[in-house]
Structure 1
Amino acid sequence: MPDFMATTSTSSLALHCKSLNRTDLNFAFLSSSRRPTSRKSFNSARYNQIVVDEEVDRIKRLQNGSDVRGVAMEGEKGRRVDLTPPAVEAISESFGEWVIDGLSKEGAGRGRVAEEEDVRVSLGRDPRISGAPLSVAVFSGLSRAGCLAFDMGLATTPACFMSTLLPPFTYHASIMMTASHLPYTRNGLKFFTRKGGLKSTEVEKICDRAAFKYANRLAKVSTTLNALAPARVNFMSTYAEYLREIIRKEVNHPLHYETPLQGFQIIVNAGNGSGGFFTWDVLDKLGADTFGSINLKPDGMFPSHIPNPEDKTAMALTRAAVLENSADLGIVFDTDVDRSGVVDSAGRAINRDRLIALMAAIVLREHPGTAIVTDARTSMALTRFITGRGGKHCMYRTGYRNVIDKGIQLNRDGVDTHLMIETSGHGAFKENHFLDDGAYMVLKIIIEMVRMKLSGSGESIDHLIKELEDPAETIELRMNILSEPRFAKDKAAEAIETFRKYIEEGRINGWELDSCGDCWVSEGCLVDSNDEPTSVDAHMYRVKVSDQEHGLHGWVQLRQSIHNPNIAVTMQSIVPGGCLSITRALHDQFLLVSGMDIILDISQIEKFIKNGHLG
């Protein structure tokens, strides 16, 4: 096992800690009555309390909603490495303990589950170059917790969850190591049990527990742990067969059941992430022609483009490959394949609102009248599209976990809800364990495409959304928080709450909070007014924008980023120039008047106003 001590320094403070006496550092967790009261001792104790507080806070800041994310290697200007092997070990150990505690509570009366059966946890990862050393830290942490670890190697996020359900694996829990579409310098952890992905509040508890472990260990990783090496398992072949069988059964091809994709050419752009398996283990084996697919080889440096279905380069390259090969469909995956987008046979990109509309059209055919949950960045035209087909549109807080949890809640409350999908491409289905699986979403599109051809239709899959109106403009700007990182979250919340008060007081003419007591209304929807953001949710508000000339023509949303210390300003308008007028009103009637320009960097706002475009 490699020695991480040369590479895991997270601060000059950590180096100083090596010279401190362990008993002194642990003072922060002891009663002050157990220490001498001399001035020298008091000052030492106070310093050590600061040491512990800083280390604890550093681990807590790694929480990213329902995930853990951080900088795993040098290469980002102004960002220090904080997702170190010691941090990952402490978090993984805390997750393992959390899993064991949960299983013990479920089996109350039988004693601790760990005493009756080994608690088994799998680990998968995307191809990031920091994955190998951080994986060792995960296995070390799981062993410390008393879990048996299983190494899935290169995998996808949805596959990690499915490894808890599909026999003969059925692990008690799973971890996926990925940072999705973020740069190669980042990495992170996503957590699953057989119940699904963890909630933000659960990850918060795990990080709280990990923070004190980390601080107490003086930033050292256990490299002498007498634990068995993790067992290597090939789960991805089982997962691929699971996907293939769904396509076979749902298409039920009358001539070639085993190869229902014969006669279809499908291009895959895996973005050098984990999605290449879908080409050779799913599509090829079902008879599809995948010639012309690009970026299939895993490469943790992501040399071609950001693996992201929202990325313009990713979509442009896929479009070019589809047109060059006269393919029937193009697929774009993100790094860990929990998101996807597609390109139709004419080279039209289907992502964001267009992807939501396509999935809504498919789901509403299967489940008439169902509710569909999206984040609050979708267009007014999308709401009309969904309701025009008999569906109900529930808009909710931005963040894929928020959207999925809302769908789960609605089903529990008796509201039939089969699709939960965010504009970023995270799409989850009730029929698929409420799991956001980019491969499963593409699978639904492929099945529909084959069915259309079998029915005699000569139309492209894009035909299903021909009635969707595109907004004239959609713009997203960012305002960085002018604060130390540890204060950024509070400053962002302060700015957004001030914005809410301005709108409620009517200080910007024609602007009105887009909220009401119900989950949906006929003309569009809302963030539930009764659902207050929790301590780990980003603050956000969406506002309807009207003016005398155009009436209700758009909306603007201010949202606190959970990835970076900034506020996203997202705008949409059905009239050309509408986003520019929205930005001017935001700048002149809120940012300058409220004094928020002191704590927010509004240079991007002012540049857009000056130039009239983002360039």
Structure 2
Amino acid sequence: MKQKFDLSGFKNNDIRGVIGKQVSEELAYLIGKAFAQWLITRNPSLHLQKGTVSNSNRITSVTGNESDSKLSNVVVIGRDNRETSLPYQNALTTGLMEVGIEVIDLGVTGTEEVYFATRHTKALGGIQITASHNPIHYNGMKLVAENAYPISKNSGLEAIKSLVKNMALEPDYQKFLGKNKESKIQRLHSTSFLTEYIEHLLSYIETSKINPLRIVVNPGNGVASHVLDALEKKFIELKIPITFIKINFEPDGQFPNGIPNPLIKSHQTVTQQAVLQYAADLGLAWDGDFDRCFFFDENGRYIEGYYMVGLLTEAFLKKETNATVLHDTRLIWNTIEVAKKFGGNSIQVKAGHALIKEKMREESAVYGGEMSAHHYFKDFGYCDSGMIPWLLIIELISKTQQSLAELTSASINTFPSSGEINCTVENPQQVIENVLARYKNKAVNIDHTDGISLDLGEWRFNLRQSNTEPLIRLNVETRGNKVLLAEKTDEILSLLT
């Protein structure tokens, strides 16, 4: 009997969806096979031996710049701590092995650990099983090719989806179920590159320059805790005077303290309160797979990702003048101003990790930032990391002798912003066209890089459509005028209903 799959979980940049509907063990198995076949097409000179699993460190490593040396016949796989992530990893592994790809099992990881291991082992590709900040009944996968190159809809994900669709019509696709799968998978042992990964993280800062700091760390019961423990151990070894105050620290796939999504305001409270309770110098929180890091200053105030992009731009340009940084189009004035002040070049680009990584490669940009708290680094294979940002910030705090509040207050006051406001509408494109018609004759500049961005002199806004939902997203900023900010935000919102 032919099996039909709901393939709507294939998005522009990853695979994610409702467990048992848009993602399942059966689908994971087919994705493993399809990914393997896609990799073989991409690398036709491969010599394959079916059913091989690696649990050793014998793969020659590569660090630093991207390497064009011979790739190993390997895919690395890691997973978050959701209850379905291990079964999905087992199914993916079976599919990959049946085609002849060697598999390195990284165990429980954050997404950036898969990025690192893919480059470190010169692997053909990598997969992280994760639903990140999505609700508990979701799961998904993020796929990368060699050098952790992003696989998006246009760069391979659509082709992999087509392969899965064709395989799903084969009558024997379910053969991976049962004893055959168990006999293969249960013998797997995890391989860790944690030591090498920690060394790489610390290479971004001058560890001898770090001043004593007390930091609240909140992984939200996701998977960041093992990395924080490893960093804490290294701090002690190197006599770096950092003290962690740990909350919601133990991994728990039931997420007893709520889904790890620090963008939800109600989820910010626990970190804010801990900063105040323990008189910490700053607070940090992560999403489930810790590829995004969120900051709270010493007063417990949440610092919008927009201002952290500016601060990280400063951190990099102080290290490398005349460098290029990238930023998304939603809020831009502060980042442009910071780049000018510190002698750098700023380029705006449409939001989305695949687009930003591609543009960073084209421009050899040292850093790319999105106000959604995705931060990308040239020396990390142009990938995003939720650990590198806060290390750079504690170095900046130490070198400037300023607190996080002091480092960000001027930017917040000079370019106040609304933060991203999401609105559900029936016809997003028509609504955007109506707003454009209302303001276009008054605009100093109109930009269509990502939705519409209109500069109206003393204020500007960006309005863009969600890629996956019937939503439009609004961001407004002004030149130091908070009253105007509130007025214009309300004015545009009235047009969206």
Q: TM-score, normalised by structure 2?
A: 0.83
8 Å CA contact retained: 1:126, 1:155: yes
Residue correspondence of structure 1 range 228-243 to structure 2 within 5 A: 228-229=184-185, 231-243=188-200
Cα separation, partners in 2 of 1:504 and 1:479, compared to 1, 3 Å: closer
Residue in 2 that maps onto 1:160? 114
Measured in 1, the distance between the counterparts of 2:214 and 2:433 equals 54
Residue 116 (structure 1) shift: 11
Give, as a single letter, the amino acid of the residue that structure 2 aligns with 1:581.
E
Residue in 1 that maps onto 2:48? 114
Residue in 2 that maps onto 1:313? 266
Structure 2 counterpart of 1:183, from 116, 135, 159: 135
Q: Considering only CA atoms, is the larger Rg found in Structure 1 or Structure 2? A: 1
How large is the Cα RMSD of the aligned pairs? Answer: 2.9
Cα separation, partners in 2 of 1:269 and 1:239, compared to 1, 3 Å: farther
Residue in 2 that maps onto 1:567? 471
The yes-or-no answer on 1:580 pairing with 2:494 is no
Residue 471 (structure 1) shift: 2.0
Residue in 2 that maps onto 1:362? 315
Measured in 1, the distance between the counterparts of 2:200 and 2:436 equals 49
Residue in 2 that maps onto 1:72? 19
Residue 511 (structure 1) shift: 5.3
The yes-or-no answer on 1:299 pairing with 2:246 is no
Residue in 2 that maps onto 1:597? none
Cα separation, partners in 2 of 1:427 and 1:474, compared to 1, 3 Å: closer
Give, as a single letter, the amino acid of the residue that structure 2 aligns with 1:326.
A
CA deviations over 1:423-467 (Å, ceiling 9, x no partner):
111111112211101112222223333444xxxx3x214433343
The yes-or-no answer on 1:91 pairing with 2:31 is yes
Measured in 1, the distance between the counterparts of 2:346 and 2:87 equals 44
Measured in 2, the distance between the counterparts of 1:219 and 1:446 equals 51
Cα separation, partners in 2 of 1:379 and 1:372, compared to 1, 3 Å: same
CA deviations over 1:166-197 (Å, ceiling 9, x no partner):
3xx55432210011111111111111233223
CA deviations over 1:335-360 (Å, ceiling 9, x no partner):
11111122233333233111101101
8 Å CA contact retained: 2:78, 2:108: yes
8 Å CA contact retained: 1:314, 1:332: no
Give, as a single letter, the amino acid of the residue that structure 2 aligns with 1:228.
K
Structure 1 counterpart of 2:424, from 475, 479, 490: 479
CA deviations over 1:23-48 (Å, ceiling 9, x no partner):
xx5xxxxxxxxxxxxxxxxxxxxxxx
Give, as a single letter, the amino acid of the residue that structure 1 aligns with 2:325.
I
8 Å CA contact retained: 1:310, 1:351: no
Measured in 2, the distance between the counterparts of 1:474 and 1:261 equals 31
CA deviations over 1:64-100 (Å, ceiling 9, x no partner):
2121111115xxxxxxx22121111111211122223
The yes-or-no answer on 1:430 pairing with 2:378 is yes
8 Å CA contact retained: 1:284, 1:290: no
Measured in 2, the distance between the counterparts of 1:274 and 1:337 equals 7
Structure 1 counterpart of 2:220, from 265, 271, 274: 271
Residue 470 (structure 1) shift: 3.8
CA deviations over 1:226-284 (Å, ceiling 9, x no partner):
7733631241532453246526xx4252xxxxxx7683322211011111123211024
The yes-or-no answer on 1:102 pairing with 2:54 is no
Paired residue secondary structure (1:393): strand
Residue in 1 that maps onto 2:407? 464
8 Å CA contact retained: 1:371, 1:419: yes
Measured in 1, the distance between the counterparts of 2:452 and 2:395 equals 36
Residue 307 (structure 1) shift: 1.7
Residue 371 (structure 1) shift: 2.3
Q: TM-score, normalised by structure 1?
A: 0.68
CA deviations over 1:453-497 (Å, ceiling 9, x no partner):
xxxx3x21443334312425345132255xxxxxxxxxx7xx52x
Paired residue secondary structure (1:514): strand
Residue 406 (structure 1) shift: 1.7
Residue in 1 that maps onto 2:56? none
8 Å CA contact retained: 2:51, 2:101: no
Measured in 2, the distance between the counterparts of 1:221 and 1:71 equals 24
Measured in 2, the distance between the counterparts of 1:349 and 1:569 equals 20
Give, as a single letter, the amino acid of the residue that structure 2 aligns with 1:67.
D
The yes-or-no answer on 1:556 pairing with 2:496 is no
Cα separation, partners in 2 of 1:338 and 1:464, compared to 1, 3 Å: same
8 Å CA contact retained: 2:316, 2:366: yes
Whose relative contact order is higher, 1 or 2, with alpha carbons under 8 Å and at least 6 apart? 2
8 Å CA contact retained: 1:265, 1:290: yes
Cα separation, partners in 2 of 1:210 and 1:567, compared to 1, 3 Å: same
Aligned positions, number: 460
Residue in 2 that maps onto 1:28? none
Residue in 1 that maps onto 2:126? 174
Cα separation, partners in 2 of 1:344 and 1:223, compared to 1, 3 Å: same
CA deviations over 1:370-415 (Å, ceiling 9, x no partner):
222112211434433333333333222122322222212223xxxx
Cα separation, partners in 2 of 1:512 and 1:561, compared to 1, 3 Å: farther
Residue in 2 that maps onto 1:203? 157
Paired residue secondary structure (1:228): helix
Residue in 2 that maps onto 1:353? 306
Cα separation, partners in 2 of 1:396 and 1:338, compared to 1, 3 Å: same
User: Quick check: 203-212 or 325-334, which moved more?
Assistant: 325-334
Paired residue secondary structure (2:17): strand
CA deviations over 1:3-26 (Å, ceiling 9, x no partner):
xxxxxxxxxxxxxxx4xxxxxx5x
Give, as a single letter, the amino acid of the residue that structure 2 aligns with 1:242.
E
8 Å CA contact retained: 1:240, 1:278: no
Residue in 2 that maps onto 1:146? 100
The yes-or-no answer on 1:440 pairing with 2:376 is no
Measured in 2, the distance between the counterparts of 1:422 and 1:143 equals 37
8 Å CA contact retained: 1:100, 1:113: no
Measured in 2, the distance between the counterparts of 1:151 and 1:450 equals 38
Residue in 2 that maps onto 1:125? 79
Measured in 2, the distance between the counterparts of 1:309 and 1:568 equals 21
Give, as a single letter, the amino acid of the residue that structure 2 aligns with 1:360.
T
Residue 305 (structure 1) shift: 3.2
Percent of aligned positions with the same letter in both sequences? 21
8 Å CA contact retained: 1:89, 1:221: no
8 Å CA contact retained: 2:324, 2:344: yes
Residue 207 (structure 1) shift: 1.1
Paired residue secondary structure (1:183): coil
Give, as a single letter, the amino acid of the residue that structure 2 aligns with 1:184.
I
Paired residue secondary structure (1:180): coil
Paired residue secondary structure (1:403): helix
Residue correspondence of structure 1 range 482-561 to structure 2 within 5 A: 495-496=428-429, 498=430, 509-510=441-442, 514-515=446-447, 527=449, 540-544=450-454, 546=456, 552-561=458-467
Residue in 2 that maps onto 1:420? 368
Unpaired segments ≥5 residues, structure 1: 1-17, 19-24, 26-51, 74-80, 254-259, 412-416, 482-491, 516-525, 528-539, 588-604, 607-615
Residue 289 (structure 1) shift: 5.0
Residue 154 (structure 1) shift: 1.0
